[in-house]
Amino acid sequence: MPNAIKAKIANPKSADREKMAGLFDQQADIYLDARPTYPLQWYSMLAARTLHRSLAWDVDTGNGQAAIGVAEHYEQVIGTDVSEAQLQHAIPHPKVKYLYTPLSISDEELLSSIGGENSVDLITVAQAVHWFDLPKFYSLVTRLLRKPGGIVAVWCYNDIAVNPTFDPVMKRFHDTTLPDWNPNIQYVFDGYKCWFGI
């Protein structure tokens, strides 16, 4: 993908980010049931790679699918999202605190809400980094992440294989509706390779 296009999508204009922020509000009540979960071994592997397990930040948590998995290994998880509607349907867990973080929140407010500089052991982004203003996000990560030993884990899923009857139907749906999707979704289909130089 040309660098100019990559830069535009990686650093969307404010109006574009506002539109993206409410993208999943209307279906927030069914979002949890429609999203796949992630393997429990994934969270165990992430926990094994961090030196401390005090605090994790799940960015764009949606309704908490990843936050709940992370909470099995960390003392506290802060799940943040720009969608109040998503957070209203968040999965309750005694170790997870959900915070609404509108696009208007300042970096200082966000840092303070999460735990301050050099406080976070694990930062997770599940199926969401393609919506971010990356320079702003990386700046926050640099300040929040505990040094040494903190890690950032970013992941996505692509086509889901269910069975030989369902899979062709899903592929046809995917192929025919793709032109109507937000262009940022292409990064997911590429496995974020173009963002991370893979």
Map tokens 């509607």 to a residue.
85
Say whether pLDDT at 191 is over 80: no
Is the CB of residue 152 less than 8 Å from the CB of residue 123? yes
pLDDT of residue 194: 58
CA-CA distance, 56 to 152, in Å (whole number)? 10
Q: What angle do CA 105, 106, 110 make, to 5 degrees?
A: 80
Say whether pLDDT at 170 is over 50: yes
Say whether pLDDT at 4 is over 50: no
pLDDT of residue 195: 56
CA-CA distance, 154 to 175, in Å (whole number)? 25
Summarised one tens digit per residue, pLDDT across range 105-153 is 999 999 999 999 999 999 999 987 777 788 888 899 999 999 999 999 9
pLDDT of residue 17: 53
pTM: predicted TM-score of the whole model, two decimal places: 0.80
CA-CA distance, 167 to 160, in Å (whole number)? 8
CA-CA distance, 107 to 54, in Å (whole number)? 22
Summarised one tens digit per residue, pLDDT across range 6-54 is 333 344 444 555 555 565 656 666 667 777 788 999 999 999 999 999 9
High-pLDDT (> 90) share of the chain, %: 47
Is the CB of residue 122 less than 8 Å from the CB of residue 62? no
What stretches of the chain show up as alpha helix (H) in DSSP? 3-10, 14-21, 28-34, 40-49, 65-71, 84-88, 107-114, 134-144, 166-177, 185-189, 193-196
Summarised one tens digit per residue, pLDDT across range 51-96 is 999 999 999 998 899 999 999 999 999 999 998 888 998 999 999 9
Per-residue CA distances from 103 to 72, 109, 115, 186 (Å): 29, 12, 19, 23
Read off the amino acid at residue 128: A
